[in-house]
Amino acid sequence: MGEYNTKPNSEVDIENGELLYDDGEHKFIWLGWGQAEEGMIQTNQYLIVDNGRGILLDPGGIHIFPKVVSNVTKYIDLDDIDFIFFSHQDPDVSSGIPMWLSVTSADIYISELWVRFLPHFGITDLSRIKGVGDGGVSVAGLDIIPAHFMHSPGNHVAFDKKSQILFNSDIGAAVFGSQRYLFVDDDNFNSHVSIMEGFHKRYIASSNVCKHYINRVRALNPKMIAPQHGAVFRGKAVDMFLNWLGSLRCGADIIDEISR
């Protein structure tokens, strides 16, 4: 049985990252706070290492590439990364794709809806890009699960079966001001909602798609939910997050309010 990170936020290494799960052979790693400058949305990058082989999850855009490479190589050689998962097409997720293709020999998995758009980030050879169908796919211990319209119309989340940590794309994203913390627990969940709410109301397509996602995620019973922006939900906060999302009115539900 592996160990989950139980550190209080005050002890988290924001710059260099943290192990979220470790059983000796299998690690799920948060790669540190990704924000190159003020005014740019903060991003989270994650690395899974299983018996010396690596999987990167949404490794981020051009600006943070050097920092992510340096944090990744503390755990693994770039040559040992077998594949890279991109949850969707946004520039903060995918614009580093030409660089990741050049420094690794990894295949890249992304919704097939976005494959034809990727050449605009400067890729000429699409042979290592694997389009994931709408129903998802399982690769190397990772279940790539559909979560379409949350927010992207071709969006997947990824469940690491060994650690039981769910990488959650932009779902659960928070937009930080000057504060920085890694974990959401039951005692800071309510204050955390105030920096999640605006994003979800405006970017997520509707409460209907949320319910579809919640049903799938509850069946997985994840131990942690790790989004691409914001903070990682653990313990009771996992369920609190799913309950909150299940009662949210967003997107098409409130279109009159949004476009007023």
| Closest CB to Fe ion among residues 5, 228 | 228
Report the nearest approach of Fe ion to the CB of residue 151 (Å): 6
Binding part of the chain for Fe ion, among 8-16, 90-98, 185-193, 213-221 by CB under 5 A, reads 90-98
Q: What are the angstrom distances between the C-alpha of 229 and each of 7, 10, 77, 143?
A: 20, 19, 25, 21
Report the nearest approach of Fe ion to the CB of residue 229 (Å): 8
Residue nearest to Fe ion (CB): 90
Binding part of the chain for Fe ion, among 49-57, 162-170, 182-190, 251-259 by CB under 5 A, reads 162-170
Report the nearest approach of Fe ion to the CB of residue 88 (Å): 6
Q: Does 58 bind Fe ion (CB under 5 A)?
A: no
| Closest CB to Fe ion among residues 170, 185 | 170
Q: Does 160 bind Fe ion (CB under 5 A)?
A: no
Tokens 């980030």, residue located: 121
Report the nearest approach of Fe ion to the CB of residue 93 (Å): 6
- Which of 58, 90, 160, 185: binder of Fe ion (CB under 5 A)? 90
Q: Does 170 bind Fe ion (CB under 5 A)?
A: yes
| Closest CB to Fe ion among residues 18, 90 | 90
What residue ranges bind Fe ion (CB under 5 A)? 90, 170
